[in-house]
Every structure is written in structure tokens, then in C-alpha cells.
Amino acid sequence: MNPNLIVGLTSMVIAATLAAFFFLSKSNNESGLPYPNIPTYSKWDTVDDSSGESMTWYMDLNNPEDMKIHIITDNDSGTLVHEVFSGNSKYLYFSVDQTAIEHAAEDSSTFSSALSKVKENCEIDESWDISVSNSNAQNAFVQRTDENGNTVWQFGENGWQMTVDSDGQVIQIADISVNSISEYDPSTEVAGTFDLFETCDTSVDYMSQFGETMDEEHRRKLASMTEEEIEEERMLGGCDWWDAGVAYFKTGGTYGNYCGKGQAGLCTNNGITTNKKGYGYIEGVPNSEGLTVCADGGLDASCSKHDSGSYSTDIWGVMTMSYCEVDRIFKSERNNGMVDVNNPFFDGQDYDTNALNGANCLFDKMPCSRYESHTSWGICGSGWRKYPCRKVATGYHTKWANGNYPSGGCNGDCYK
């Protein structure tokens, strides 16, 4: 392998600092110890020892002055973290994992295709110089050879270390274990649902594009629906979640005092029996009172609790997204025998059985939000002591849980 490409590999991986480790070659390795064996088109399967996160690194080392790398981190929460290094920029964005795409495909190919193109929380950092010419490879030296015959290379007196086995295979970089390094075919390899080294654009609202695609798919059908057909979408039916969602929210599909978008107050307005056992009521506490809800089996009360979540945001102009934890509890409570199919409760306009069917159809397919941490490459230190490091950031991320909601993930209290 061309030694200049070896130099460039780590320039790409962590912004030129680790390039020193790959300066070694047969021509300059006077020690005779194993040097890194790196294919031009390299795929690395690695694990961050500190966080346990799995990372796949794709590298294109074909041009030492125009190298590229695409790192995908899987944190087992349904979200993939993408880091793309190209030129002097690092692009960071998030996408759903393959499980969410497969669940979406069960509903429609349009759903899965549109979802696979969503990039969330795009960030661009133009301070990364990943060219070979920016590396300081001359500072690499053999730190030691361990009892297993592995060679430990180091950059600088207190710098990063890389371990190479006797066959020239990289097995460790700092706190990252390298499970395997293989060669990929650049004409066929992809990075999840994206092209390799595909970047993101901060001016593009990818979630809005998703909504436009779905709306275009179903607009003609929805426009031709009668009121009876819209109502049927809220019932068990075929459970086309997008049609049901648009119909449900655009028509103000509601039940009771709290189920549905907004607070319809149907039991109160229609003179149907109510009680004070909504959100805020504590079972067994004397004189405890909560929100006024229908005196049904508990569905309206569970809706009042869901409406009291501390975080929600409108999406696509027609739906509301809540915390995943709030959706998880709502699903558990509403399906806990509170609706009697043999004796449905009537709020003066609709039955709780219809509301339950509509909610189960809709919420299991809708996205939810989770406040969680992720790691990505950043720069630590200052001045000549700058070095690449894994940094932790926390923020809101959209999850497509398909009804299997991850627990926790609220920024503070989950409810108001």
C-alpha cells in the first residue's frame, strides 16, 4: 500500500492527528515490526470501549488529498448517528435504523422509502482539515511490544496509541477496539439507507419532505373520503395510519373530554356523567381530585394524562408528537382492560371502543421524541494541545418505535 495513503487514513479518521500511526511503511519502518495493513477502500467494525457503542467506519483512501470517511454509530435505541468527513468539513446527522424501515415497509413501500431519506439534526463543522498534507506523521514511534507480539505505536509523548498484531492488523486505537478491517466494493456498498459519504444540508427540513411525500401519496384518497369513511378510518378497519392520522386530526377526531387533538369536553358538554379522576387524581388519597373526565372505564383519564406530558410538538401541521415514555405509558394504560367491548361507553358523540381502536392504529405508527445522549468526534484541548476526542451531546431525537417504545428519555419530568 502507498505510504502516503497510510498517512492519510488516520488524517481522515480523526482529523490528521492519528495519521502519524500510518506513516509507517516497508520503506521507512526500520524496526522491522508489523505496520498497519489498510485497504484503499476500508470498512472497519469497531466498538467504543467506554460507551459500548458499535461503530462502522467506511474509508475512501484513493486520493490522499481528497479522502473521505463515513462513520455510523449504533446506540441500540433505534437511531443511527452518521459522521461524514469530506474536504475540510465534518457532517453530523441522525437516521432511523433498519428495524424501523422494515416495520414501515409492512405498511407501504412509500412509507419506508420516505422514512429512509429522513436526516435529523444536521450539523456542519468546517474546521476539520483531513488532507495528508496536514498530518504530522514524523512524531510516530514504537511505544512497546507486548507479550502477545502486538506492536503499540504512539503519536507524541502523551498522544494516542494504536495496537497492531503480528499480521499487521489494527486491533486497537485509543479506547476503540477494532474487530475487523475488510475491503468493500465502492460501486455497491451503502451506509445504512444512504449512499456512502452522503452529507446533509442544514437548510433542508427532511421531516417536512417526509410529510409532503406521504401527503401526496394519500391526498387524492383522503379528498374523496365521505364522513362515514373518515369515521371508519378511526375504527379498526385496515388501519392505514397516515390516512387515519390526517383524518383524525384534521376533522378534530375526539372522544370524551380529552381524547384526540385538543380538549373537546364532549362528556361535559353533552351532559354525560363525569368525575374528577383525570390526571392529578391519586387513588386512595382522601379528597383527591384531578381533571374532569368521563365516568368511563378510564380511557378518558388516560388521555388526560397523555395530554399532560411535559413535551409535545406539532409535526407536518396535522399531528402531535410526544415523549416516547408518555406514549409508552398511554399504550399500557389504555389497553389495560379499561374499555369493555361488550358494554361501550358513549360520550354523546362516539364510543370508547372506537376511540381505543383509532388510538391503537395511530399511535403505534406515529413517531415519538426522546431526549438522549450520543457520542461523536470532536476537538478537545486548545492551541498546540488540541487533539481529537469522543464528545457527548444530548438532545431531542425522533423515534419510530412501532409501538415498542423505549422507556425513559424525558428532559426532566415527563409530565407537567
**DSSP structure string for 164-227:** E-TTS-EEEETTEEEEEEEE--TTT-EETTEETT----TT--HHHHHHHHHHHHHHHHHHT--H
Residue 365, exposed/middle/buried by CB under 10 A (0-12, 13-18, 19+)? buried
Taking residues 127-151, what's their average pLDDT?
A: 65
- CA 295 to CA 345: how far, in whole Å? 9
Confidence tier at 2 by pLDDT (50, 70, 90): very low
Q: In this structure, what are the phi and psi dihedrals at residue 218, rounded to the nearest 5 degrees?
A: -110, 0
Confidence tier at 88 by pLDDT (50, 70, 90): confident
Domain boundaries, the chain: 3-204, 225-369
Taking residues 387-406, what's their average pLDDT?
A: 85
What pLDDT score was predicted for residue 80? 92
What pLDDT score was predicted for residue 409? 94
- CA 392 to CA 389: how far, in whole Å? 10
Higher pLDDT, 385 or 331: 331
Which letter does DSSP use for residue 22 in this model?
Answer: G
Grid coordinates representing 311 are 413535551
Higher pLDDT, 138 or 148: 148
Q: Name residue, grid cell 441500540.
A: 76
- Check pLDDT > 60 for residue 375: yes
Residue from 59, 51, 54 nearest 11 by CA: 59
Q: For residue 236, give the amino acid letter.
A: L
Sign of CA dihedral 366, 370, 374, 378: positive
- CA 155 to CA 339: how far, in whole Å? 66
What pLDDT score was predicted for residue 134? 45
- Ranges 104-118, 240-254, 294-308, 397-411: which has the least confidence: 240-254
What pLDDT score was predicted for residue 140? 62
Q: Name residue, grid cell 384531578.
A: 290
What pLDDT score was predicted for residue 280? 96
Taking residues 119-127, what's their average pLDDT?
A: 91
Confidence tier at 167 by pLDDT (50, 70, 90): confident
**What's the N-to-C CA distance of the chain in angstroms?**
60
Taking residues 269-275, what's their average pLDDT?
A: 96
What pLDDT score was predicted for residue 254? 81
- Ranges 10-24, 93-107, 136-150, 357-371: which has the least confidence: 10-24
- Check pLDDT > 80 for residue 174: no
Condensed to tens digits (0 to 9), the pLDDT of residues 18-71 reads 343 344 443 345 555 556 667 889 899 999 887 788 899 998 877 767 778 899
Taking residues 331-353, what's their average pLDDT?
A: 92
Q: Give the distance, in angstroms, between the CA of residue 83 and the centroid of all CA atoms in the same chain.
A: 13
Confidence tier at 146 by pLDDT (50, 70, 90): confident
| Segment of 1-10, 206-215, 378-387 carrying the highest mean pLDDT | 206-215
Residue from 315, 291, 318, 300 nearest 368 by CA: 315
Residue from 281, 310, 275 nearest 295 by CA: 275
What pLDDT score was predicted for residue 216? 76
What pLDDT score was predicted for residue 22? 42
What pLDDT score was predicted for residue 20? 38
pLDDT above 70 coverage of the chain, percent: 75
- Ranges 73-77, 197-201, 302-306, 330-334: which has the least confidence: 73-77
CATH code for the part of the protein at 3-204: 2.50.20
What pLDDT score was predicted for residue 67? 79
Taking residues 134-153, what's their average pLDDT?
A: 69
Taking residues 74-97, what's their average pLDDT?
A: 88
- Ranges 110-119, 133-142, 327-336, 371-380: which has the least confidence: 133-142
- CA 99 to CA 124: how far, in whole Å? 27
Condensed to tens digits (0 to 9), the pLDDT of residues 193-240 reads 999 999 999 999 999 898 888 877 766 665 666 666 655 554 444 466
What pLDDT score was predicted for residue 1? 35
Higher pLDDT, 135 or 413: 413
- CA 182 to CA 407: how far, in whole Å? 36
Condensed to tens digits (0 to 9), the pLDDT of residues 240-252 reads 666 656 655 554 5
Sign of CA dihedral 354, 362, 371, 329: positive
**Which whole-number Å values give the CA distances from 17 to 324, 408, 411, in the listed order?**
40, 38, 36
Average confidence score pLDDT of the chain: 80
Contact of 373 with 385, CB cutoff 8 Å? no
Taking residues 344-360, what's their average pLDDT?
A: 88
